Chains A and B, each alone.
Chain A
C-alpha cells in the first residue's frame, strides 16, 4: 500500500514537471518501486528484470536520447481536455473491470487451474531445473524465447540502421 501511494506521488510528479531530465529520473524511481511491488508479490524474476531493464538500461538510453534533443518539454499544441477525458473514462472502465475479478489469492480461479499446476508438477521430474520460471521460459516455451531474442535482434539492427554514422557520410561532412 505504501509502495502504491509512493508510485501515485511519482506519477503526479511526472505529470507536473516540465523538465525532461526530472521526468526520466522519476520514471526510473517508478520502475524501482514497481520492482519492489513485484518482489512483494513473490515474482522475483520479473522484479529483477524490471529493476535492471526498467530502472537501469532504459533510463540510460533515455538520458542519452535527451543528450541529442532538448531538455524541456514543448508546450502542448492541442486542447488538453480530450486526453484527460479519455484517460478518465479508460481508468473508470478499468476500475469497473476489477469488480469482476475474483478476490485476491483465491485458489479456484481459472489462472490457478490452467497449465500452471501442470508445469509445477512436471518441471522438476522432466527437466531437473529447480526454478520453474527458467524451465518454462527456456524449455517448455523455447519458441517464445527464440521469438523474444529475435525481437531484440531486430530492434538492435533497426537502431543501428537509423543511428549508425556511415563512413561515406562522415567523409561528406568533412568535405
Chain B
C-alpha cells in the first residue's frame, strides 16, 4: 500500500490536466486535430485512471455508474434531435444551416452540438464498459 503513494500523487497531479486536455481536444476540434470521439476517450481514460488508483468505491462516489449509463443514449439523442431540428425547419436531416442564417454560424453551432453528443456517448460507453468489467469478479 505504501508504494501507492507515488501513483496516488501522480494521478492527483495529472488528472486535472487530462480532463483539461479532453475539453481542449473537444472544443478545439474545429481548428486542430481532435473532436468528440478522441475527447470522449481521453475523458474516459482519466476516469479509468482514477478508478484504478483510488479503487472502485471512491471512484463511484464521484463518477456514479448510473450517470454514465444514462449518458450513452443521451448522446445519440442529442445527435438525432439536432438532425430532427433541421428537418422540422424545412431543411435536410443534419443540415446545420437551419440553426442560424448568419453565414457559417449555423454550421459552427451544429458541429459543436453534435460533437458534444459524440463526446457524451463515447465517454459514457467507455466508462460503463470498464465498470462492468471490474464489477465482474
Instruction: List residues of A whose CB falls within 8 A of some B CB.
Output: 44-45, 47-49, 52-53, 56-57, 60-61, 64-65, 67-68, 126-131, 133-135, 137-139, 142-143, 145-146, 148-150, 152-153, 155-157, 159-160, 163-165
Which 9 A-B residue pairings sit nearest by Cβ, starting from the closest? A128-B104, A156-B125, A142-B94, A44-B33, A64-B133, A163-B132, A127-B107, A138-B111, A52-B41
If the complex has contacts A133-B33, A153-B125, are A139 and B107 also in contact, measured as CB distance less than 8 A?
yes
Chain A residues with CB under 8 Å of B134's CB are 64, 67
Chain A residues with CB under 8 Å of B62's CB are none
Complex Cα distance, B56 from A73, in Å, reads: 29
Closest Cβ of chain A to B129, distance in Å, is 5
Pick from A47, A150, A152, A160: contact of B69, CB below 8 A. Answer: A160
Extra 18 A-B pairs, beta carbons < 8 Å, given A47-B33, A129-B111, A134-B30: A48-B25, A56-B41, A57-B48, A65-B133, A127-B111, A131-B33, A134-B115, A135-B111, A138-B111, A138-B114, A138-B115, A142-B114, A146-B79, A149-B122, A153-B76, A159-B129, A164-B132, A165-B136
Main secondary structure of the interface of B (DSSP, over half): helix
Q: Which partner residue on chain A sits nearest B122 by CB separation?
A: A152
Pick from A56, A128, A160: contact of B128, CB below 8 A. Answer: A160
Closest Cβ of chain B to A105, distance in Å, is 22
Complex Cα distance, B73 from A149, in Å, reads: 10
Interface residues on chain B, number (Cβ under 8 Å):
51
Complex Cα distance, B107 from A129, in Å, reads: 8
Pick from B31, B41, B75: contact of A57, CB below 8 A. Answer: B41
Q: CB distance A149 to B117 under 8 Å? A: yes
Chain B residues with CB under 8 Å of A65's CB are 133
Chain A residues with CB under 8 Å of B122's CB are 149, 152
Instruction: List residues of B whose CB falls within 8 A of some A CB.
Output: 25, 29-35, 37-38, 41-42, 44-45, 48, 52, 69, 72-73, 75-76, 79-80, 83, 93-94, 96, 103-104, 107-108, 110-111, 114-115, 117-118, 121-122, 124-126, 128-130, 132-137
Chain B residues with CB under 8 Å of A128's CB are 103-104, 107-108
Chain A residues with CB under 8 Å of B45's CB are 52, 56-57, 60
Chain B residues with CB under 8 Å of A149's CB are 75-76, 79, 117-118, 121-122
Pick from B76, B83, B93, B110: contact of A150, CB below 8 A. Answer: B76
Chain B residues with CB under 8 Å of A145's CB are 79, 114, 118
